[in-house]
Structure 1
Amino acid sequence: MSAAGDAPPAQSRGELRVVGTSVTREVERLLDQTADACGKRAPRILQVGSRTVASDRNERNWRALVAKRFGNHARFVGIDLQGGSNVDCVLDICGTLRTLLGKLGDEPFDLVICCHVLEHTRHPGKAARNIEQILKPGGLAYIATPWSQAFHAAPDDYWRFSVRGLMLMFARLDIVSSFYSGGDVGLDVAYRVVRDGKPDLEPQAAGVEQGLFQLVLDHEDNRAVLARQATERLPVSRTYLPTLFVNIVGRRNT
Protein backbone atom coordinates (compact mmCIF):
# COMPACT_ATOMS: atom_id res chain seq x y z
CA MET A 1 0.00 0.00 0.00
CA SER A 2 1.39 3.43 -0.89
CA ALA A 3 1.63 6.15 1.71
CA ALA A 4 -0.91 8.97 1.66
CA GLY A 5 0.00 11.53 -0.99
CA ASP A 6 2.20 9.10 -2.95
CA ALA A 7 1.51 8.96 -6.68
CA PRO A 8 0.20 5.59 -7.88
CA PRO A 9 2.77 3.51 -9.77
CA ALA A 10 2.76 4.18 -13.51
CA GLN A 11 1.27 1.41 -15.58
CA SER A 12 3.74 -0.16 -17.94
CA ARG A 13 2.88 0.19 -21.60
CA GLY A 14 2.83 -2.82 -23.84
CA GLU A 15 5.09 -3.41 -26.80
CA LEU A 16 4.48 -1.56 -30.06
CA ARG A 17 3.30 -4.13 -32.61
CA VAL A 18 2.60 -4.24 -36.31
CA VAL A 19 -0.46 -6.43 -36.89
CA GLY A 20 -1.22 -7.87 -40.29
CA THR A 21 -4.82 -7.63 -41.41
CA SER A 22 -6.78 -6.90 -44.59
CA VAL A 23 -9.11 -4.16 -45.74
CA THR A 24 -11.86 -6.77 -46.11
CA ARG A 25 -11.46 -7.74 -42.46
CA GLU A 26 -11.41 -4.11 -41.34
CA VAL A 27 -14.57 -3.34 -43.33
CA GLU A 28 -16.31 -6.29 -41.70
CA ARG A 29 -15.30 -4.95 -38.29
CA LEU A 30 -16.64 -1.52 -39.25
CA LEU A 31 -20.02 -2.91 -40.26
CA ASP A 32 -20.15 -5.03 -37.10
CA GLN A 33 -19.46 -1.93 -34.98
CA THR A 34 -22.23 -0.09 -36.80
CA ALA A 35 -24.64 -2.97 -36.19
CA ASP A 36 -23.72 -3.08 -32.48
CA ALA A 37 -24.29 0.66 -32.12
CA CYS A 38 -27.68 0.56 -33.87
CA GLY A 39 -29.06 -2.57 -32.25
CA LYS A 40 -32.42 -3.35 -33.82
CA ARG A 41 -32.71 0.11 -35.35
CA ALA A 42 -32.13 0.43 -39.10
CA PRO A 43 -28.80 2.18 -39.69
CA ARG A 44 -28.61 5.30 -41.85
CA ILE A 45 -25.44 5.19 -43.97
CA LEU A 46 -23.91 7.78 -46.30
CA GLN A 47 -21.24 7.18 -48.94
CA VAL A 48 -19.40 10.30 -50.09
CA GLY A 49 -18.14 10.00 -53.67
CA SER A 50 -20.35 7.06 -54.59
CA ARG A 51 -20.37 7.28 -58.40
CA THR A 52 -19.00 4.13 -60.04
CA VAL A 53 -16.94 4.28 -63.21
CA ALA A 54 -15.26 1.62 -65.32
CA SER A 55 -11.81 2.36 -63.86
CA ASP A 56 -12.95 1.62 -60.29
CA ARG A 57 -12.12 -2.07 -60.53
CA ASN A 58 -10.44 -2.05 -57.11
CA GLU A 59 -13.14 -0.04 -55.33
CA ARG A 60 -15.60 -1.70 -52.97
CA ASN A 61 -19.29 -1.74 -53.73
CA TRP A 62 -20.44 -0.28 -50.45
CA ARG A 63 -24.13 -0.40 -51.32
CA ALA A 64 -23.85 -4.16 -51.91
CA LEU A 65 -21.78 -4.69 -48.76
CA VAL A 66 -24.31 -2.81 -46.64
CA ALA A 67 -27.21 -4.73 -48.22
CA LYS A 68 -25.45 -8.04 -47.54
CA ARG A 69 -24.82 -7.10 -43.89
CA PHE A 70 -28.15 -5.44 -43.06
CA GLY A 71 -30.54 -6.70 -45.72
CA ASN A 72 -33.22 -4.22 -46.70
CA HIS A 73 -33.18 -2.57 -43.29
CA ALA A 74 -30.31 -0.13 -43.91
CA ARG A 75 -31.05 3.29 -45.38
CA PHE A 76 -28.17 3.89 -47.78
CA VAL A 77 -27.52 7.21 -49.53
CA GLY A 78 -24.79 7.80 -52.11
CA ILE A 79 -23.72 11.34 -53.02
CA ASP A 80 -21.32 12.62 -55.66
CA LEU A 81 -20.43 15.78 -57.56
CA GLN A 82 -21.80 14.17 -60.72
CA GLY A 83 -24.83 12.04 -61.35
CA GLY A 84 -24.43 8.47 -62.51
CA SER A 85 -24.48 4.88 -61.40
CA ASN A 86 -24.86 4.45 -57.61
CA VAL A 87 -25.58 8.18 -57.04
CA ASP A 88 -28.77 9.04 -55.15
CA CYS A 89 -28.08 12.75 -54.80
CA VAL A 90 -25.76 15.15 -56.64
CA LEU A 91 -24.13 17.04 -53.79
CA ASP A 92 -20.79 18.59 -52.83
CA ILE A 93 -19.51 17.47 -49.41
CA CYS A 94 -17.62 20.79 -49.28
CA GLY A 95 -20.84 22.79 -49.64
CA THR A 96 -22.64 24.57 -46.84
CA LEU A 97 -24.10 22.50 -44.03
CA ARG A 98 -27.50 24.05 -44.78
CA THR A 99 -27.33 22.76 -48.38
CA LEU A 100 -26.32 19.29 -47.21
CA LEU A 101 -29.10 19.07 -44.66
CA GLY A 102 -31.57 20.50 -47.15
CA LYS A 103 -30.97 17.55 -49.49
CA LEU A 104 -30.10 14.81 -46.99
CA GLY A 105 -32.53 15.73 -44.23
CA ASP A 106 -31.91 16.60 -40.60
CA GLU A 107 -31.62 13.00 -39.37
CA PRO A 108 -27.95 12.27 -38.64
CA PHE A 109 -26.07 9.28 -40.03
CA ASP A 110 -24.84 6.24 -38.12
CA LEU A 111 -21.98 5.71 -40.59
CA VAL A 112 -20.31 7.96 -43.16
CA ILE A 113 -17.97 6.36 -45.71
CA CYS A 114 -15.48 8.65 -47.45
CA CYS A 115 -12.92 6.62 -49.40
CA HIS A 116 -10.46 8.15 -51.89
CA VAL A 117 -12.37 11.42 -52.03
CA LEU A 118 -10.64 14.01 -49.83
CA GLU A 119 -7.58 14.26 -52.09
CA HIS A 120 -9.89 15.47 -54.87
CA THR A 121 -11.71 18.15 -52.84
CA ARG A 122 -10.71 21.80 -52.91
CA HIS A 123 -11.52 22.24 -49.23
CA PRO A 124 -10.89 18.98 -47.35
CA GLY A 125 -11.10 20.70 -43.97
CA LYS A 126 -14.61 21.88 -44.79
CA ALA A 127 -15.53 18.38 -45.92
CA ALA A 128 -14.25 17.03 -42.60
CA ARG A 129 -16.36 19.52 -40.62
CA ASN A 130 -19.47 18.58 -42.59
CA ILE A 131 -18.90 14.86 -42.09
CA GLU A 132 -18.56 15.42 -38.35
CA GLN A 133 -21.73 17.54 -38.27
CA ILE A 134 -23.95 15.04 -40.10
CA LEU A 135 -22.82 12.14 -37.91
CA LYS A 136 -24.96 11.01 -35.02
CA PRO A 137 -23.18 11.36 -31.64
CA GLY A 138 -21.49 7.99 -31.30
CA GLY A 139 -21.70 7.47 -35.08
CA LEU A 140 -18.74 6.23 -37.10
CA ALA A 141 -16.82 7.69 -40.04
CA TYR A 142 -14.50 5.63 -42.23
CA ILE A 143 -11.96 7.79 -44.05
CA ALA A 144 -9.44 6.41 -46.56
CA THR A 145 -6.98 8.68 -48.38
CA PRO A 146 -3.62 8.26 -50.14
CA TRP A 147 -0.32 8.96 -48.46
CA SER A 148 1.59 8.09 -51.63
CA GLN A 149 -0.08 7.58 -54.99
CA ALA A 150 0.44 8.70 -58.57
CA PHE A 151 -1.35 11.85 -59.69
CA HIS A 152 -4.93 11.00 -60.67
CA ALA A 153 -7.23 13.83 -61.66
CA ALA A 154 -10.86 12.94 -60.98
CA PRO A 155 -11.73 15.75 -61.60
CA ASP A 156 -8.47 17.00 -60.06
CA ASP A 157 -5.89 15.88 -57.49
CA TYR A 158 -4.85 18.27 -54.72
CA TRP A 159 -3.74 16.63 -51.47
CA ARG A 160 -1.99 13.77 -49.65
CA PHE A 161 -2.62 12.94 -46.00
CA SER A 162 -0.96 11.20 -43.06
CA VAL A 163 -2.79 9.52 -40.19
CA ARG A 164 -1.87 12.42 -37.93
CA GLY A 165 -3.02 14.88 -40.57
CA LEU A 166 -6.43 13.21 -40.63
CA MET A 167 -6.54 13.32 -36.83
CA LEU A 168 -6.05 17.08 -36.95
CA MET A 169 -8.75 17.50 -39.58
CA PHE A 170 -11.28 15.29 -37.79
CA ALA A 171 -10.79 16.76 -34.33
CA ARG A 172 -14.30 15.85 -33.15
CA LEU A 173 -13.73 12.15 -33.80
CA ASP A 174 -12.20 9.70 -31.36
CA ILE A 175 -10.00 7.41 -33.43
CA VAL A 176 -11.01 3.81 -32.74
CA SER A 177 -8.97 2.20 -35.53
CA SER A 178 -6.27 3.12 -38.04
CA PHE A 179 -4.44 1.05 -40.62
CA TYR A 180 -2.34 1.22 -43.77
CA SER A 181 -3.31 -0.49 -47.00
CA GLY A 182 -1.88 -0.97 -50.47
CA GLY A 183 -3.29 -0.20 -53.86
CA ASP A 184 -2.54 -3.18 -56.08
CA VAL A 185 -5.52 -4.89 -57.69
CA GLY A 186 -6.11 -8.29 -56.10
CA LEU A 187 -3.74 -7.69 -53.17
CA ASP A 188 -5.84 -7.17 -50.05
CA VAL A 189 -3.28 -6.55 -47.32
CA ALA A 190 -3.26 -3.99 -44.54
CA TYR A 191 -1.30 -3.28 -41.34
CA ARG A 192 -2.23 -1.77 -38.01
CA VAL A 193 0.30 -0.26 -35.58
CA VAL A 194 -1.02 -1.01 -32.10
CA ARG A 195 -0.06 -1.00 -28.45
CA ASP A 196 -2.12 -2.87 -25.86
CA GLY A 197 -4.56 -3.79 -28.62
CA LYS A 198 -5.36 -0.16 -29.46
CA PRO A 199 -4.07 2.10 -32.26
CA ASP A 200 -0.88 3.84 -31.19
CA LEU A 201 -1.27 7.43 -32.35
CA GLU A 202 1.65 8.90 -30.41
CA PRO A 203 4.55 10.55 -32.28
CA GLN A 204 6.89 7.79 -31.08
CA ALA A 205 5.14 5.37 -33.40
CA ALA A 206 6.07 7.49 -36.41
CA GLY A 207 9.56 5.99 -36.61
CA VAL A 208 8.12 2.50 -36.87
CA GLU A 209 5.71 3.58 -39.57
CA GLN A 210 8.45 5.34 -41.51
CA GLY A 211 10.54 2.18 -41.59
CA LEU A 212 7.67 -0.03 -42.72
CA PHE A 213 7.10 1.41 -46.15
CA GLN A 214 10.09 3.48 -47.23
CA LEU A 215 12.76 1.84 -49.35
CA VAL A 216 16.13 3.57 -49.82
CA LEU A 217 18.27 2.32 -52.71
CA ASP A 218 21.91 3.06 -53.38
CA HIS A 219 22.88 4.79 -56.61
CA GLU A 220 23.47 1.65 -58.69
CA ASP A 221 20.25 -0.04 -57.57
CA ASN A 222 18.42 3.18 -58.30
CA ARG A 223 19.79 3.25 -61.86
CA ALA A 224 18.84 -0.41 -62.35
CA VAL A 225 15.23 0.23 -61.31
CA LEU A 226 14.96 3.18 -63.67
CA ALA A 227 16.50 1.21 -66.55
CA ARG A 228 13.73 -1.39 -66.32
CA GLN A 229 10.94 1.15 -66.79
CA ALA A 230 9.04 1.16 -70.07
CA THR A 231 9.30 4.92 -70.40
CA GLU A 232 12.12 7.27 -69.51
CA ARG A 233 12.42 8.25 -65.84
CA LEU A 234 14.84 10.76 -64.38
CA PRO A 235 16.99 9.78 -61.35
CA VAL A 236 15.85 12.54 -59.02
CA SER A 237 15.57 10.38 -55.91
CA ARG A 238 16.89 7.18 -54.39
CA THR A 239 13.93 6.75 -52.06
CA TYR A 240 10.82 4.88 -53.15
CA LEU A 241 7.38 4.47 -51.61
CA PRO A 242 4.69 2.04 -52.70
CA THR A 243 1.14 3.16 -53.35
CA LEU A 244 0.00 3.52 -49.77
CA PHE A 245 -3.33 4.52 -48.25
CA VAL A 246 -4.03 5.65 -44.71
CA ASN A 247 -7.34 4.63 -43.17
CA ILE A 248 -9.03 5.80 -39.98
CA VAL A 249 -12.27 4.89 -38.28
CA GLY A 250 -13.47 7.60 -35.92
CA ARG A 251 -16.42 7.87 -33.58
CA ARG A 252 -18.05 11.24 -33.10
CA ASN A 253 -17.75 12.34 -29.52
CA THR A 254 -20.62 14.22 -27.92
Structure 2
Amino acid sequence: MPANGRPTDRRGELRVVGTTMAREIDGLLDDVAQALGRRRPRVLQVGARRSVSDRNERNWRTLVGHRFGARTRFVGIDLVPGDGVDSVLDICGAPRNLKATLGPEPFDLVICCHMLEHARAPMRAARNIENLLKPGGFAFVATPWSQAFHAAPDDYWRFSVRGLALLFTRLDFLTAFYSGGDVGLDVAYRVERDGRPDLEARAGAVEQGLFQIVLDHEDNRDVLSRQATERLPVSRTYLPTLFVNAVGRRR
Protein backbone atom coordinates (compact mmCIF):
# COMPACT_ATOMS: atom_id res chain seq x y z
CA MET A 1 0.00 0.00 0.00
CA PRO A 2 1.49 3.39 -0.98
CA ALA A 3 1.75 6.35 1.42
CA ASN A 4 -1.48 7.91 0.14
CA GLY A 5 -3.41 4.81 1.24
CA ARG A 6 -4.60 3.91 -2.26
CA PRO A 7 -4.01 0.38 -3.58
CA THR A 8 -1.30 0.04 -6.19
CA ASP A 9 -2.36 -1.04 -9.67
CA ARG A 10 0.05 -3.89 -10.49
CA ARG A 11 -1.43 -4.84 -13.84
CA GLY A 12 1.25 -5.42 -16.44
CA GLU A 13 3.98 -5.67 -13.79
CA LEU A 14 6.52 -8.51 -13.94
CA ARG A 15 6.54 -10.22 -10.55
CA VAL A 16 8.43 -13.00 -8.77
CA VAL A 17 5.93 -14.86 -6.60
CA GLY A 18 7.02 -17.24 -3.86
CA THR A 19 5.30 -20.63 -3.78
CA THR A 20 6.04 -24.31 -3.11
CA MET A 21 6.02 -27.48 -5.18
CA ALA A 22 3.31 -28.93 -2.93
CA ARG A 23 1.07 -25.90 -3.51
CA GLU A 24 1.60 -25.96 -7.27
CA ILE A 25 0.88 -29.69 -7.53
CA ASP A 26 -2.28 -29.29 -5.44
CA GLY A 27 -3.35 -26.50 -7.80
CA LEU A 28 -2.75 -28.72 -10.83
CA LEU A 29 -4.81 -31.56 -9.37
CA ASP A 30 -7.56 -29.06 -8.48
CA ASP A 31 -7.65 -27.94 -12.12
CA VAL A 32 -7.82 -31.54 -13.35
CA ALA A 33 -10.63 -32.34 -10.92
CA GLN A 34 -12.60 -29.26 -11.97
CA ALA A 35 -12.22 -30.14 -15.65
CA LEU A 36 -13.34 -33.74 -15.13
CA GLY A 37 -16.24 -33.26 -12.77
CA ARG A 38 -17.12 -36.67 -11.30
CA ARG A 39 -15.20 -38.67 -13.88
CA ARG A 40 -11.96 -40.44 -12.88
CA PRO A 41 -8.89 -39.26 -14.80
CA ARG A 42 -6.72 -41.30 -17.11
CA VAL A 43 -3.12 -40.42 -16.19
CA LEU A 44 0.21 -41.20 -17.89
CA GLN A 45 3.61 -40.80 -16.26
CA VAL A 46 6.55 -40.67 -18.66
CA GLY A 47 9.79 -41.80 -17.02
CA ALA A 48 8.03 -43.63 -14.21
CA ARG A 49 10.79 -45.95 -12.98
CA ARG A 50 11.70 -45.27 -9.37
CA SER A 51 15.20 -45.83 -8.00
CA VAL A 52 17.13 -45.18 -4.80
CA SER A 53 18.28 -41.81 -6.16
CA ASP A 54 14.61 -40.79 -6.52
CA ARG A 55 13.79 -41.26 -2.84
CA ASN A 56 13.16 -37.52 -2.44
CA GLU A 57 10.95 -37.28 -5.52
CA ARG A 58 7.18 -37.23 -5.26
CA ASN A 59 5.33 -40.46 -5.95
CA TRP A 60 2.83 -39.33 -8.55
CA ARG A 61 0.92 -42.60 -8.58
CA THR A 62 0.26 -42.22 -4.86
CA LEU A 63 -0.59 -38.51 -5.13
CA VAL A 64 -3.09 -39.08 -7.92
CA GLY A 65 -4.56 -42.13 -6.20
CA HIS A 66 -5.11 -40.25 -2.95
CA ARG A 67 -6.79 -37.39 -4.80
CA PHE A 68 -9.02 -39.31 -7.21
CA GLY A 69 -9.40 -42.73 -5.60
CA ALA A 70 -8.25 -46.26 -6.27
CA ARG A 71 -10.19 -46.51 -9.54
CA THR A 72 -7.98 -43.88 -11.18
CA ARG A 73 -6.44 -45.24 -14.37
CA PHE A 74 -2.69 -44.60 -13.97
CA VAL A 75 -0.07 -45.85 -16.45
CA GLY A 76 3.69 -45.53 -15.95
CA ILE A 77 6.09 -45.98 -18.89
CA ASP A 78 9.87 -46.04 -19.07
CA LEU A 79 12.69 -47.25 -21.30
CA VAL A 80 13.54 -50.06 -18.87
CA PRO A 81 11.45 -52.14 -16.46
CA GLY A 82 11.37 -51.36 -12.77
CA ASP A 83 9.31 -50.18 -9.84
CA GLY A 84 6.44 -47.99 -11.07
CA VAL A 85 6.71 -49.13 -14.73
CA ASP A 86 3.60 -50.66 -16.29
CA SER A 87 4.90 -50.71 -19.87
CA VAL A 88 8.42 -50.51 -21.30
CA LEU A 89 7.98 -47.86 -23.97
CA ASP A 90 9.98 -45.06 -25.60
CA ILE A 91 8.13 -41.73 -25.61
CA CYS A 92 10.37 -40.74 -28.55
CA GLY A 93 9.11 -43.71 -30.56
CA ALA A 94 6.63 -43.88 -33.42
CA PRO A 95 3.11 -42.68 -32.49
CA ARG A 96 1.60 -45.94 -33.77
CA ASN A 97 3.75 -47.92 -31.32
CA LEU A 98 2.61 -45.71 -28.43
CA LYS A 99 -1.05 -46.06 -29.40
CA ALA A 100 -0.67 -49.84 -29.85
CA THR A 101 0.56 -50.19 -26.27
CA LEU A 102 -1.39 -47.43 -24.50
CA GLY A 103 -4.62 -47.75 -26.44
CA PRO A 104 -6.57 -45.19 -28.46
CA GLU A 105 -8.15 -43.39 -25.48
CA PRO A 106 -6.36 -40.07 -24.79
CA PHE A 107 -5.12 -39.04 -21.35
CA ASP A 108 -6.46 -36.33 -19.07
CA LEU A 109 -3.04 -35.71 -17.48
CA VAL A 110 0.49 -36.53 -18.63
CA ILE A 111 3.34 -36.19 -16.11
CA CYS A 112 6.88 -35.88 -17.46
CA CYS A 113 9.37 -35.17 -14.66
CA HIS A 114 13.16 -35.17 -15.02
CA MET A 115 13.04 -37.15 -18.27
CA LEU A 116 13.41 -34.72 -21.19
CA GLU A 117 17.08 -34.04 -20.43
CA HIS A 118 17.71 -37.75 -21.09
CA ALA A 119 15.63 -37.98 -24.29
CA ARG A 120 17.53 -38.31 -27.58
CA ALA A 121 14.75 -36.49 -29.41
CA PRO A 122 12.97 -34.15 -26.96
CA MET A 123 10.97 -32.41 -29.70
CA ARG A 124 9.54 -35.76 -30.80
CA ALA A 125 8.83 -36.64 -27.17
CA ALA A 126 6.96 -33.35 -26.73
CA ARG A 127 4.91 -33.95 -29.89
CA ASN A 128 3.96 -37.45 -28.72
CA ILE A 129 2.94 -36.15 -25.29
CA GLU A 130 0.70 -33.57 -26.95
CA ASN A 131 -0.84 -36.24 -29.19
CA LEU A 132 -1.55 -38.50 -26.21
CA LEU A 133 -3.45 -35.72 -24.42
CA LYS A 134 -7.14 -35.18 -24.98
CA PRO A 135 -8.17 -31.63 -26.01
CA GLY A 136 -8.29 -29.69 -22.76
CA GLY A 137 -6.01 -32.23 -21.07
CA PHE A 138 -3.15 -31.17 -18.81
CA ALA A 139 0.60 -31.78 -18.90
CA PHE A 140 3.05 -31.29 -16.04
CA VAL A 141 6.67 -31.04 -17.20
CA ALA A 142 9.71 -30.69 -14.92
CA THR A 143 13.25 -30.59 -16.22
CA PRO A 144 16.58 -29.08 -15.10
CA TRP A 145 17.76 -25.68 -16.15
CA SER A 146 20.85 -26.08 -13.99
CA GLN A 147 22.02 -29.45 -12.66
CA ALA A 148 25.19 -31.52 -12.52
CA PHE A 149 25.69 -34.14 -15.23
CA HIS A 150 23.70 -37.30 -14.48
CA ALA A 151 23.66 -40.08 -17.05
CA ALA A 152 20.51 -42.19 -16.87
CA PRO A 153 21.34 -43.67 -19.34
CA ASP A 154 22.78 -40.42 -20.71
CA ASP A 155 22.36 -36.67 -20.19
CA TYR A 156 21.85 -34.42 -23.24
CA TRP A 157 19.86 -31.23 -22.61
CA ARG A 158 18.98 -28.32 -20.34
CA PHE A 159 15.84 -26.20 -20.80
CA SER A 160 14.55 -22.74 -19.97
CA VAL A 161 10.83 -21.98 -19.67
CA ARG A 162 10.86 -20.51 -23.17
CA GLY A 163 12.72 -23.58 -24.38
CA LEU A 164 9.83 -25.73 -23.16
CA ALA A 165 7.39 -23.38 -24.89
CA LEU A 166 9.24 -24.01 -28.18
CA LEU A 167 8.95 -27.77 -27.65
CA PHE A 168 5.29 -27.85 -26.63
CA THR A 169 3.69 -25.70 -29.31
CA ARG A 170 0.18 -27.13 -28.84
CA LEU A 171 -0.01 -26.36 -25.13
CA ASP A 172 -1.15 -23.17 -23.47
CA PHE A 173 1.12 -22.66 -20.47
CA LEU A 174 -1.06 -21.98 -17.44
CA THR A 175 1.80 -21.61 -14.98
CA ALA A 176 5.57 -21.98 -14.90
CA PHE A 177 7.83 -21.94 -11.86
CA TYR A 178 11.37 -22.64 -10.70
CA SER A 179 12.29 -24.93 -7.83
CA GLY A 180 15.53 -25.83 -6.06
CA GLY A 181 16.88 -29.31 -5.54
CA ASP A 182 17.99 -29.31 -1.90
CA VAL A 183 16.70 -32.23 0.15
CA GLY A 184 13.83 -31.19 2.41
CA LEU A 185 13.57 -27.71 0.87
CA ASP A 186 10.24 -27.01 -0.79
CA VAL A 187 10.74 -23.51 -2.17
CA ALA A 188 9.65 -22.38 -5.62
CA TYR A 189 9.25 -19.10 -7.54
CA ARG A 190 6.95 -18.07 -10.35
CA VAL A 191 7.86 -15.30 -12.78
CA GLU A 192 4.55 -13.95 -14.04
CA ARG A 193 2.70 -10.99 -15.43
CA ASP A 194 -0.98 -10.54 -14.62
CA GLY A 195 -1.10 -14.03 -13.13
CA ARG A 196 0.27 -15.77 -16.24
CA PRO A 197 3.78 -16.98 -17.05
CA ASP A 198 5.80 -14.41 -18.99
CA LEU A 199 7.33 -16.19 -21.97
CA GLU A 200 8.93 -13.09 -23.46
CA ALA A 201 12.73 -12.70 -23.52
CA ARG A 202 12.46 -9.49 -21.49
CA ALA A 203 11.74 -11.62 -18.42
CA GLY A 204 15.24 -13.07 -18.68
CA ALA A 205 16.89 -10.46 -16.46
CA VAL A 206 14.56 -11.37 -13.61
CA GLU A 207 15.12 -15.09 -14.16
CA GLN A 208 18.88 -14.64 -13.90
CA GLY A 209 18.42 -13.43 -10.35
CA LEU A 210 16.77 -16.69 -9.35
CA PHE A 211 20.17 -18.37 -9.37
CA GLN A 212 21.17 -16.06 -6.53
CA ILE A 213 18.00 -16.97 -4.64
CA VAL A 214 19.05 -20.61 -4.74
CA LEU A 215 22.72 -19.87 -4.00
CA ASP A 216 23.23 -16.46 -2.39
CA HIS A 217 26.24 -14.14 -2.59
CA GLU A 218 27.93 -15.40 0.56
CA ASP A 219 27.72 -19.00 -0.62
CA ASN A 220 29.09 -17.99 -4.02
CA ARG A 221 32.05 -16.20 -2.44
CA ASP A 222 32.78 -19.07 -0.05
CA VAL A 223 32.80 -21.69 -2.80
CA LEU A 224 34.98 -19.59 -5.09
CA SER A 225 37.52 -19.02 -2.30
CA ARG A 226 37.96 -22.80 -2.03
CA GLN A 227 37.87 -23.57 -5.72
CA ALA A 228 41.65 -23.87 -6.20
CA THR A 229 41.96 -26.71 -3.69
CA GLU A 230 38.51 -28.32 -3.96
CA ARG A 231 37.85 -28.74 -7.64
CA LEU A 232 35.95 -32.02 -7.67
CA PRO A 233 32.79 -30.94 -5.79
CA VAL A 234 32.50 -27.60 -7.59
CA SER A 235 30.03 -28.89 -10.19
CA ARG A 236 27.62 -29.90 -7.45
CA THR A 237 28.35 -27.13 -4.97
CA TYR A 238 28.91 -24.01 -7.00
CA LEU A 239 26.39 -24.82 -9.71
CA PRO A 240 22.94 -24.44 -8.13
CA THR A 241 20.36 -27.12 -8.86
CA LEU A 242 17.43 -25.32 -10.43
CA PHE A 243 14.46 -26.98 -12.08
CA VAL A 244 11.98 -25.54 -14.57
CA ASN A 245 8.40 -26.69 -14.02
CA ALA A 246 5.49 -25.96 -16.34
CA VAL A 247 1.80 -26.78 -16.45
CA GLY A 248 0.22 -26.69 -19.89
CA ARG A 249 -3.19 -27.45 -21.32
CA ARG A 250 -3.76 -28.80 -24.78
CA ARG A 251 -5.73 -26.47 -27.00
The TM-score, its normalising length taken from structure 2, stands at 0.88
Q: 1:170 to 1:232 in 2, by over 3 A?
A: closer
Aligned 1:123-202 pairs, distance under 5 A: 123-202=121-200
Deviations for 1:27-48, whole angstroms, at most 9, x for unmatched residues?
1111111111111111000000
Task: Find the counterpart in structure 1 of residue 32 from structure 2.
Answer: 34
- CA-CA distance at 1:73 after TM superposition: 3.0
- CA-CA distance at 1:14 after TM superposition: 2.8
Q: 1:211 to 1:134 in 2, by over 3 A?
A: same
Task: Find the counterpart in structure 1 of residue 5 from structure 2.
Answer: none
CA RMSD of aligned residues (A): 2.2
Partner SS state of residue 41, structure 1: coil
Q: Which runs of 5+ in 1 are unaligned?
A: 1-10, 235-239
Deviations for 1:71-112, whole angstroms, at most 9, x for unmatched residues?
123110000111111111110000000000000000000000
Partner SS state of residue 143, structure 1: strand
- CA-CA distance at 1:211 after TM superposition: 2.1
Q: 1:17 to 1:97 in 2, by over 3 A?
A: same
- CA-CA distance at 1:227 after TM superposition: 5.0
Task: Find the counterpart in structure 2 of residue 3 from structure 1.
Answer: none
- 8 Å Cα contact 2:148-2:239 kept in structure 1: no
Deviations for 1:204-223, whole angstroms, at most 9, x for unmatched residues?
11111112215789x98664
- 8 Å Cα contact 2:42-2:74 kept in structure 1: yes
Q: 1:228 to 1:186 in 2, by over 3 A?
A: farther
Aligned 1:1-254 pairs, distance under 5 A: 13-214=11-212, 223-226=224-227, 229=230, 231=232, 241-253=239-251
Q: Which one-letter code corresponds to 2:127 in the other structure?
A: R
Task: Find the counterpart in structure 2 of residue 8 from structure 1.
Answer: none
- CA-CA distance at 1:13 after TM superposition: 3.9
The TM-score, its normalising length taken from structure 1, stands at 0.87
- CA-CA distance at 1:156 after TM superposition: 0.6
Q: Which one-letter code corresponds to 2:14 in the other structure?
A: L
Aligned length: 237
Partner SS state of residue 55, structure 1: helix
- 8 Å Cα contact 1:43-1:73 kept in structure 2: no
Q: Which runs of 5+ in 2 are unaligned?
A: 1-8
Q: Which one-letter code corresponds to 1:226 in the other structure?
A: Q
- 8 Å Cα contact 2:18-2:189 kept in structure 1: yes
Is the helix fraction higher in 1 or 2?
2
Partner SS state of residue 175, structure 2: strand
Q: For 1:106 and 1:72, how far apart are their aligned partners in 2?
A: 22
Partner SS state of residue 126, structure 1: helix
Q: For 1:152 and 1:226, how far apart are their aligned partners in 2?
A: 22
Partner SS state of residue 245, structure 1: strand
Q: Which one-letter code corresponds to 2:230 in the other structure?
A: Q
- 8 Å Cα contact 2:47-2:115 kept in structure 1: yes
Q: 1:194 to 1:220 in 2, by over 3 A?
A: closer
